[in-house]
Structure 1
Amino acid sequence: MSKGKLKWVSIAMLLTLVVGLLGACGKSDGGSNESGGAGNSGDKVELSMLFADSLFAGIHTDLIKEFESAYPNIKVKVETLPDSGIFDALRIRVSTNEVPDLYQINIGHVTTQLASNAGFISDLSGYESSKNYSDSIRSATSIDGKQALFTLGVGVLGVAYNKDMMADIGYADGVKTWDELIDAGKKLKAKGKDLLVYAGKGETMMGNVLHWTFGSYAVKDPAFKEAYLANKVDWSKPEYRAVLLEGLNRFKELNEFVRVGSFTNEFTIAQQAFAEGDSAMLLSGTWEGGMLRKLNPNLNLGFMNMPYVAEDQNAYIFVPEDGIAVNAKSKHPEEAKTFLNWLFSKETYAKILKAKGSFSAMPGVGELDESYAAVPGWLETDRIISFANTGPVPSPTWIALGNAAQEFTFQGSADKAADKFIAEYNKTMAK
């Protein structure tokens, strides 16, 4: 077993819960090709593919060269975009009917439903590589009765931290409470260091701490949880408005110790700032351990849940990671099938996992970065709540909340920020 790795741990119990949260949404390992031999005869075919810069941890060029060597009649033309722009770009492609043959989606994101409604989602359940996932993963990545994507991993939102920097201020094992988090921020600020850097301007990070505000309240209030997951929260209720105001005030309190520019960073800039020791923590998830170790092989890396409330009451924020979908209107469906079967064969997927350091979505494949050692235990609890921006709160509304929270951080009032969010949220309820 290599340094910094743990064996893959079964997550069947987690995935059963996930199906409920989300509303039950190449060659194979044996060398067979379920596409009927596409790519080995006939004219050359070019497949178009769109995804974010970080999705394959920088190894996509090597992967595609390997594929094209094995299937010389299929060429894969890749277009990558900054992480923060991928879903806006996809929304435009769907509206203009210019969707590529293969493209990145997230099962809970509003753009996936848009793509499905427009007929751009192929059902991958009959692909050979679909068998590499568990039934729960297949269900959790389905929409409108179709397996919509092959996910890159199991995504759990949390906080990566530099153990050495935190040990220097008395928190070698990370912080356990919100008060300790703020205390760590004050101590680091006195040393001229930042406590935290947000992982760029992607929408998941726009509202950052509010994932736990809503998630942890959902853990203790079944009525709120039901309404929250169904996008039917009545924010006029005093107790629910109080939750929102609490989150906005926590957002502002924490932001005093956040690296300047976090809200406008690209994902890679935030990773570099953390890896180089400019901040002690990075709001991140179980999809980037490999990249952080690549940026700094000597990094003493830890990973913890955001200590929003006491850990036995705290939510764990989960969603299947982004993955690759196939355009149902592609002119080259068999070649796309051949490529995706190859890309998500166990052999190729293991290479992707090694580069990404992600939490594996395929039973028995890959190893788990040691910084995520506690995560399997988190996922055996009944406190798993979906990312706020992939289901519970429509992504444009979540972005509106993030913008309002940032305005409150620098000027204005929490009540005005809350009113802005509620107005946007209520528009989505009316649809």
Structure 2
Amino acid sequence: MALEKTWRWFGLKDSVKLSDLKQMGIEGVVTALHHIPNGEVWPVEEIMKVKNAIEAHGMRWSVVESLPVSEGIKTKSPDRPRLIRNYQESLRNLGKCGIDTVCYNFMPVLDWVRTDLHYTLPSGGEVMYFDFPTFVAFDAFILKRPGAENDYPADIVALAREKHASMTQEEAEKLAHNIIVVTQGFIDGVVDGSTPDYKKVFLKFIDTYKEIDRDRLRQHLADFLRDVVPVAEESGVNLCIHPDDPPFPVLGLPRIVSTKEDFEWIIQQVDSISNGLTFCTGSLSVRSSDKLVDIVKSVGHRIHFLHLRNNVLLPDGCFHEYGHIHGVVDMYAVMKALLEEQQRRVKEGRKDLRMPVRPDHGIKMLDDYAREANPGYPLIGRLKGLAELAGLEMGIERSMKDQQN
């Protein structure tokens, strides 16, 4: 038995082709219908086009990442009933097409956040960096969100003020554009890059959450789960929520998928195997790097999708990404816990044994500099990570078998 080796593919416009993935030993493709607007139904015909293209190369469409949860669902706007019906219909259509795993997130307005998309490591490779004071400078002094300075520690705000004072107008604009548009555009961000005053539009989205605190957002998630999990279960689909990235509040917005306790709360809302989790070491390790194995032991039975990568944690809430097996994450212990969970599933006779895993993000290196790619998704860096994770997995699995014999 082994974890299913998968790869995030962004469709026909991706510089990495399906034929490349087959050569790399990929078993399952992770992708989405990026051309379907948020909140609209995914038709069977469009799902099958992608599924057939993948299967023509001898692979399977392993995971949908993602079927976006519209802001109207998160805020419970007047349009919520229609958005829920469309989400339910998309799940039914995915089930009809044999797609059985759907990753989604419930992060308000902004998905994952980084302040530097080209941070250079001592090796010369590039990764993405989150500098907390720089982000606060963006929020309080560039975006100028009302009350922003009150949402962060005073010492971080002081550092942010200094950083903003040292920026040129061009640097400030580039920072805002990267955070709002560049990192979000390929994952169905709320602001289109063609919007002239994108910062103003972004502030309007944030303002829709002014009456929504952590408890209320949790209630909105619980209501969403009660509406969609039964449909997913009937359709043979497992939903798996992705943790917040980073796993702490930003922009004055609540975060509700950041800790082991959050995961435990989520799976308690609807008692169904279809109400599951995406286990992302990159996101979770920023806050709980020493508790990742505890998370697997606590909620491993509901983990349906694995994102594995590593970080280096720095002072003042800062961190940068760092490949896959080296960094703050004890990837050996994590991998061993995941393989033990897979063994439990075999003994229990469960059908969801594949446990698809993908190398999440990667170091930009070598030929990656001559290739177009979305932020965080270089070919060579991720392929290196895939090889490292596969080698680690094989060694642990062999050791476990030898101990049993």
The reply to whether TM is greater than 0.5 is no
**Under a length normalisation based on structure 2, what TM-score does the superposition of the two structures give?**
0.25
| Greater RCO, 1 or 2 (C-alpha within 8 Å, sep 6+) | 1
**Under a length normalisation based on structure 1, what TM-score does the superposition of the two structures give?**
0.24
